[in-house]
Amino acid sequence: MSNDDGQRVPAVSSAANALRLLMLLEHQPSLRVVDASRALNVAGSTAHRLLTCLKDEGFLRQPAGSRAYVAGPNILKLARHFSDQNSLERIAHTHLERLCKQVNEAVNLQVLVGHEVLCLDAVVEDRHGLQVRSIRGQRVSASVSAAGKVLLAALKPAELEEALGQDPRHPDADWSATLHAELATIREFGYATNMGEREPGVHAVAVPINDPTGKSIAALAVAAPSVRLPHVRVSGLITHLRAASGAITLDYFGSD
């Protein structure tokens, strides 16, 4: 690889810079060329080549219509492969199973990745003939997901705009205003619902899972056919969800 002056850049240096870019995703949901350029103190063209290389190898990806880069499938595969017994997914699973039995509905664990939510785990109540199934590894737009909206609501203003800027509907002023108003309500009450927004006939309610400082790290949701999850059932489900969320936080972070 050559730099913008035509000089040869050592392969080790390029590899190190690529790894530094991936590590930036630990602290921000996405990367733009200008972010990479500033972080590495390199020209924009050099940063663009590094990002493109990582995208070509599956470590980054670009959502449709966005110039930003988010975690790609190979990063997620590595993360799952190297997760240990202390991972959130493993610790939360027992609580998901317990919650599923308590509410007799499907439950799932979601995290925010850019403008989407990623399903880390799901447990389905198999006594019902009509079920709602979430698939591990499935990604959907956060703005039409109960789990996604509760996590979007927890973001700082700049982080929220960065995430929403990746959504193809972001240029729609009416859509943006409606979503911001809903997120304000979610912040006030601490939970989010999805009443058929993503899929007609499917309802869901979600609460955040917070770290000891109050920062949201994931979301816990119950999903069911609309006939089994009317509005009048939401408050009861929230009680169960919050209890499970608190228990997950305690097990994951400890009591100190």
pLDDT at residue 254 in the model: 82
pLDDT at residue 102 in the model: 95
210: left (phi over 0), alpha (psi -120 to 50) or beta: beta
Integer Cα distance of 120 and 80 in angstroms? 9
Give the rounded distance of the alpha carbon of 132 from its chain centre. Answer: 20
Decide: helix, strand or coil at residue 63: coil
Integer Cα distance of 4 and 44 in angstroms? 10
Domain range list for the chain: 11-78, 85-253
How much of the chain is in helix, strand and coil states, percent to nearest 5?
A: 45, 20, 35
C-alpha closest to that of 126 among 89, 147, 101? 101
What is the second-level CATH architecture of the domain 11-78? Orthogonal Bundle (1.10)
Kindly state the tokens that stand for 215. 């920062």
pLDDT at residue 5 in the model: 47
Q: Are 196 and 223 in contact (CB under 8 A)?
A: no
pLDDT at residue 84 in the model: 46
Kindly state the tokens that stand for 149. 């909206």
Integer Cα distance of 196 and 169 in angstroms? 18
Helix (H) or strand (E) holding 156: none
Integer Cα distance of 208 and 87 in angstroms? 17
* 3-state SS track over 210-235: ECCCCCEEEEEEEEEECCCCCHHHHH
What is the second-level CATH architecture of the domain 85-253? 2-Layer Sandwich (3.30)
* 85-253 and 11-78 share a CATH fold: no
Kindly state the tokens that stand for 60. 């980054």
Q: At what angle do helices 44-56 and 33-40 cross, to 10 degrees?
A: 110
pLDDT at residue 130 in the model: 72
pLDDT tens sequence for the chain (256 residues): 444 444 444 555 888 899 999 998 888 889 999 999 999 999 999 999 999 999 999 999 998 888 899 999 888 777 765 554 458 888 999 999 999 999 999 999 999 998 899 999 999 877 766 777 778 888 999 999 999 999 999 999 999 998 888 888 877 889 889 999 999 999 999 999 999 888 899 999 999 999 999 999 999 999 999 999 999 999 999 999 999 999 999 999 886 5
